[in-house]
Amino acid sequence: MKEILVIYYSQSGQLKEISNNLLSSLAKNVDYNITYKEIEPVKSYPFPWKSDDFFNVMPESVLGVKCEINEVDFEKNNYDLIILAHQIWYLSPSIPFWSFLQDDKYKHIFKDTKVITLVGARNMWVMALKDISKRLKEIGAKHVGNIVFIDKHNNLISVLTIIKWMFTAKKGPYKNLPEAGVSTKEINYASKYGELIKTAFENNNFEDFQSKVVSIGGVPINFAVKITEQNAKRIFKIWANKIIKKGEMENPKRLLLVRAFKNYLLFLIFAISPIVHILFMLIFYLLYPITSKKISDISLLKL
Ligand SMILES: Cc1cc2nc3c(=O)[nH]c(=O)nc-3n(C[C@H](O)[C@H](O)[C@H](O)COP(=O)(O)O)c2cc1C
């Protein structure tokens, strides 16, 4: 019997749905036992979000400041595979998920254990993967896979729909805009990755698991988006350090700067990013041997 542990946090339930579908065939198989553990912040983050709250979590997300989470109890000390289902907040692992992963109290379950990270995000997840991968190395986990579910619509469309979704809790499709987040079709087809997990267990070999995930489209990645992310994270850190100096999340003294950050971010997204996107795509094609290798390395977890 193979023991699979799924640790997840999800405000809308999207990541739970993806995890369920991904593991649907294993769940019906008597050779596998799947346990789900939810990460629960002591003080839950609002969903749907209010605008100020949404932008106010940026500093703590980017600087990796932990929140308090309810104790997570594990029935076993060892699992054959751990799946970490998480989302991205401001190019960083979400605060609740990061608070769990950073907690040394839980590091024993990761020691020498195979881990697959499962991302459900808008479209910018690479910078967060680097942090997560570093932490997994630190605690002795074997990071054997990374499966990514994103919104595949145009960047600006996906910004508009995610704002609608986050602020209303309604995923759409809306009158003039498509469904927000990961499409229902992609969620429904998530079981194809579960089949790869089953094969890897049957062959007792996870060595080529990630390349198989990549070959069936499990790591959508775009060079221009990746470079945008890299630059944006640097800018976010500057704002985060400024805002956090004004006090903790609840401190109203932060609000003025948080609102300035919101306006700055919307300006970056809608006025600057379309232009730099074209520039970064040009760089991608001009330096193709180097840039395509970079993308391939990230996909294959050679970070
Ligand atoms: C505060 C906040 C910041 C976010 N920042 C990003 C981001 O930087 N990159 C990204 O791809 N998605 C971002 N998202 C979208 C989430 O990664 C995720 O797809 C969405 O919140 C749904 O996740 P859920 O499973 O928790 O409902 C953000 C969401 C929130 C709430």
Per-residue pLDDT tens digits for 242-274:
999 999 999 999 999 999 999 999 999 999 999
Q: What is the pLDDT of residue 183?
A: 98
**Residue-level pLDDT at 76:** 95
Query: CA separation (Å) from 258 to 92, 167, 192?
Result: 18, 17, 41
Q: Given this model, what pLDDT does residue 58 score? A: 98
Q: Is there a single domain that holds both residue 159 and residue 187?
A: yes
Q: Which of 196, 220, 244 is the last residue of a domain?
A: 220
Residue-level pLDDT at 139: 98
What pTM was estimated for this model as a whole?
A: 0.97
Indicate whether 188 and 231 sit together in one domain. no
Average pLDDT per consecutive 10 residues, the chain (303 residues; last block may be shorter): 98 98 97 98 98 98 98 96 98 98 97 98 98 98 98 96 98 96 97 98 97 98 95 98 97 97 97 96 97 97 94
Ligand 1 lined by 86 (C-beta under 6 Å): no
**Cα 189 to the center of its chain, rounded Å:** 19
Judge if 41 and 149 occupy the same domain. Answer: yes
Atom of ligand 1 nearest to the CA of 58: 1
Asked if residue 231 and residue 216 are part of one domain, the reply reads no
Burial class (CB in 10 A: 0-12, 13-18, 19+), 71: exposed
Mark whether 260 and 208 lie in a shared domain: no
Residues 107 and 234 in one domain: no
What pLDDT score does 46 carry?
95
Of the three residues 198, 220, 242, the one that is the final residue of a domain is: 220
Residue 227 near ligand 1, beta carbon < 6 Å: no
Is 197 a pocket residue for ligand 1 (Cβ < 6 Å)? no
In this prediction, residue 283 carries a pLDDT of: 97
CA of 87 to the centre of ligand 1 (A): 6
182 and 246, same structural domain? no
pLDDT value, residue 282: 97
Q: Are 81 and 116 in contact (CB under 8 A)?
A: yes
CA–CA separation, 218 and 228 (whole Å): 21
- Residues 68 and 144 reside in one and the same domain: yes
- Ligand 1 atom at minimal distance to the Cα of residue 119: 17
User: Total domain count for the chain?
Assistant: 2
Asked if residue 102 has its Cβ within 6 Å of ligand 1, the reply is no
Question: So what's the pLDDT on residue 163?
Answer: 97
Residue 184's domain comprises 2-220
The reply to whether 190 and 261 lie within a common domain is no
Identify whether residues 123 and 187 lie together within a single domain: yes
Segment holding 88, helix H or strand E: strand 88-89
Q: How far apart are CA 8 and CA 15, in angstroms?
A: 7
Note the pLDDT of residue 259: 98
Tokens of 140: 């002795």
* Residue ending a domain, choose from 159, 194, 220: 220
Instruction: Residue 46: give its domain's CATH number.
Output: 3.40.50.360
Cβ 93 under 6 angstroms from ligand 1: no
Asked if 10 and 123 sit in the same domain, the reply is yes
Q: Which of 259, 267, 243, 251 is nearest to 61 (CA)?
A: 243
pLDDT of res. 83? 98
For residue 124, the ligand 1 atom closest to its alpha carbon is 11
Answer yes or no: do 29 and 100 share one domain.
yes
Question: Could you identify the atom of ligand 1 that is nearest to the CA of residue 229?
Answer: 8
